[in-house]
Structure 1
Amino acid sequence: MMKVLLYSEGKKLFSKSGVGIALKHQMSALDKVGVKYTTNEEDSFDIVHINTIGPGAERVIKKSKKLGIPIIYHTHTTYEDFRNSFTLSNAIAPWLRKRLIKLYSSADFLISPTEYAKKLIMNYGITLPIKAVSNGVDNKKFTRSKSLAESFLSENHIRKPLVVSVGLPFERKGVIDFCQIADTRKDLTFYWFGAKISSLLPAKIRRLLKNPPDNVKFPGFIPQEMIIGPYSACDVFLFPSYEETEGIVVLEALATEAPIVLRDIPVYSEWMKHEENCLKGKDNQEFIKHIDRLLESNNLRKKLSSCGKETALERDLSIIGQKLKNIYLEVLDKKQ
């Protein structure tokens, strides 16, 4: 019976980020298909699946190579999506790119969250076998809830229409654009959920979070089970991010049938279709136009919501678990 080490370091720091959520998704996905796993590197295991790029990952690689244990690396982090996030991230990015190439090249097999992320990794000159597998979404957990929507609205005394976004408040995620749009639309209420890791944020973002437009709220991080209320309550889920390897929050919004407005960036070109399961815009003017269209047309909202749910179902964790299981078996088979 095969056993997998799902490895991720800095669990406390990453728990509120996409990488932390991706690890939880892997655990759920493997549970659904009966694959045994551990998150403790001291346990015995047949294969290692690494999610992070710190010194702990290097240690696990060395140990696994010594023992002849095959290594799978999940390429959540890219040079492209590291930029414009933390303080000094742009200065560190070129060094990071070299580190990613070194670490990812030490694996036997790579997994990327999307075809777009896979292309980025291949462009670094890495020639290992690589497959695109979505981070997935738990459709049982993320499902539209009228009662959670109503309690969220009443507890926070929210005046509709409501525009919601979720993510760490980085410049790369479009938090400045979000506030600029809100500033021009005082008739709407805007909520951005995501951990405010102040120590890591540049001064201009810290200032924005302290003094946002008066129709914008930054409640900070709320647990996954509580976020279903805002997803279900919003009239528009606006995600103006400039760079993603997938965007787990987009999958959550699809699963809860929130009408989605996205920035038109390459990561979405193959699976998020304009006018089918979302509306895509290039700038704030287009975002505002799309928000208005959604507020005016019940039919358009319904169409995007139901197509969106189908997209989420195609990426259910039970399907992702089977894909991961197949990759593990294939890699083990090759190694033997």
Structure 2
Amino acid sequence: MSKKDDKKLIVDMISESEFTVQGHGVHTAFVEMTNALKDRNDIDIAVNKARLDADIVHAQTTGLYSMKKMRQSGGKKVVSAHVVPASFIGSIKGAKLLEPLARAYLRWFYNKADLVLAVSDYTKNELEKIGVKKPISILYNTIDTAKYANSPAKKKSARQKLGISNDAFVVVGSGQVQPRKRVDVFFNMAEKMPDVEFVWVGGVPFGVIAAENGAMQRMMNNPPKNLKFTGVIPLDDVADYYRAADVFVLPSEQETFGLVVVEAAAAGLPVVLRDISDYDTTFRDGAVMASSDSDFVTQVDKLRRNKKFYSQQCRLAEKIAKRFDSSAGAERLVEFYRSLI
């Protein structure tokens, strides 16, 4: 790996997801970023330590444990902003009532950093709206796209492993099962397209405190015959579902970034997303945008029947994967680190 100077940076990476709830995008982003830095020879990285000789302490989560570690470490303080107040609405029970408190807390937390790294332009704008005054730069989430690489042989193997017929047309979605993700749209798609196989990768990792937990559990327990909910599964197993699929769909109404989009694109899948401004500077040019709930069915049906359109969207998805590969993200992150010291 390239170096900006001869000094090996000592970095403490902090994430409460290491010992609490996993199965969500923030944990995935933390794992991917940490692994990318471990692959470099100019970084000495440790997880959930607070070394007095650290150059950088980088928090991926915003709990009190992360604040404690930032205060204990001797390094400059960097915080990745994966969440904004709107992220909690449709995710956690009572979020609308607690939004003023969440706004105040996040403003306080992010303002303790020397540098805030927003995961998208949308996120940066939201941070500025809530009163974050510390320097904010944009660092998009990235993944090791090689882990999701696909081929006809890998696709066949994945389908055999998962018990999916070789001639099935498979639509996959991914993320927490919560109102904000609009999993109900995915559910309705399966009902309207009975000859298509649907798989939603993910569950309800936050359990009883999750928004509309009862309704989400009922939906997961009573799907159409052509829809499978995997529940929360190990990150290493997720790639099999992407490889087995033909199309990726995410009907979410709000995303700070949407790391699952990059995962699906890295597996060579055409991507269908809701037409929201959150994707303006990230995925819009590489995805099919659905303008309404019913449009998701229309766009998937077009991808299924129009081979030229399907091939075109696969090529565009490849551009998403290349843009958000972790090697480029790690290089950019180290540049931010060195700018602080």
CA contact (8 A) 2:12 2:46 kept: yes
Which of 290, 294, 298 matches 1:289?
298
Q: Which moved more, 1:150-159 or 1:98-107?
A: 150-159
The match for 2:51 is 43
The match for 1:74 is 80
Say if 2:108 is the partner of 1:102. yes
The match for 1:322 is 331
* Partner deviation per Cα, 1:65-93 (whole Å, 9 max, x = no partner): xx5x3111111111111110123333333
The match for 1:174 is 182
When the two structures are superposed, what TM-score results if normalisation uses the length of structure 1?
0.92
Distance 1:177 1:49, change over 3 A: same
Equivalent positions of 1:49-198 (< 5 A) are 49-64=58-73, 67=74, 69-159=75-165, 160-197=168-205, 198=207
The match for 1:13 is 20
The amino acid of 2:159's aligned partner reads L
1:150 deviation in Å? Answer: 1.6
Aligned-partner Cα distance in 1 for 2:169–2:252: 22
Aligned-partner Cα distance in 2 for 1:200–1:209: 17
Q: Describe the SS at the equivalent of 1:13.
A: coil
Q: Which moved more, 1:143-152 or 1:300-309?
A: 143-152
Distance 1:213 1:311, change over 3 A: same
Q: CA-atom RMSD, angstroms?
A: 1.8
* Partner deviation per Cα, 1:33-54 (whole Å, 9 max, x = no partner): 3321111324341211111111
Say if 2:314 is the partner of 1:308. no
The match for 2:230 is 219
Aligned-partner Cα distance in 1 for 2:97–2:171: 33
Aligned-partner Cα distance in 1 for 2:297–2:220: 21
When the two structures are superposed, what TM-score results if normalisation uses the length of structure 2?
0.90
The match for 1:252 is 263
1:185 deviation in Å? Answer: 1.6
User: For this pair of structures, how many residues does the alignment match?
Assistant: 327
* Partner deviation per Cα, 1:287-325 (whole Å, 9 max, x = no partner): 111001100112222211122112211221111111110
CA contact (8 A) 1:33 1:322 kept: no
Q: Describe the SS at the equivalent of 2:19.
A: helix
Aligned-partner Cα distance in 1 for 2:220–2:272: 22
CA contact (8 A) 1:9 1:54 kept: yes
Q: Describe the SS at the equivalent of 2:146.
A: coil
Aligned-partner Cα distance in 1 for 2:223–2:273: 22
CA contact (8 A) 2:272 2:290 kept: yes
The amino acid of 1:251's aligned partner reads V
Aligned-partner Cα distance in 1 for 2:81–2:311: 35
The amino acid of 2:15's aligned partner reads S
Aligned-partner Cα distance in 1 for 2:138–2:264: 21
Q: Describe the SS at the equivalent of 2:57.
A: strand
CA contact (8 A) 2:273 2:290 kept: yes
